[in-house]
Amino acid sequence: MGSILHQRCFNHVSREAVARCLECTQFFCRECISEHDDRVICAACLKKEASVAAAPVRSYLWLWRLAQATAGLVTVWLFFYILGQVLLSIPSSFHEGTLWKNRWTQ
């Protein structure tokens, strides 16, 4: 390949190239090239990198939501289980009203 002085933009043939993308090794004009993570890269390669970086986060999102739903259900079950145990520990004389009669009449 020749020097950058004789190159044209890959997307705009009428414009002179100012930089070369390090990923795809094509030459681009000022509008088609950008700087990302301290390197010069074209828009197409930047889009590829962004889609690859975002894919793993989305793949585990369903697992996180399932864990949250499970934790919520366990919390609700535990709350009602403890509430039931407290209600079962109340003596039956309390419900019949004899507990109060015995304490006040003695």
What is the tens place of the pLDDT at every residue in 77-97? 999 999 999 999 988 777 776
97 within domain boundaries: no
Q: How many domains does the chain have?
A: 1
pLDDT of res. 3: 66
Residue type (1 letter), 63: L
Give CA separation, 106 vs 74, 90, 101, in Å: 45, 21, 8
Q: Which domain holds residue 40?
A: 4-57
Q: What share of the chain is helix, strand, coil (3-state, %, to 5)?
A: 60, 15, 30
98 within domain boundaries: no
pTM of the model: 0.45
- pLDDT tens-place string over residues 22-75: 888 888 888 888 887 888 888 888 888 877 665 555 677 889 999 999 999 999
74 within domain boundaries: no
More confident residue, 1 or 9: 9
CB of 42 within 8 A of CB of 17?
A: no
| Host H or E run for residue 33 | strand 33-36
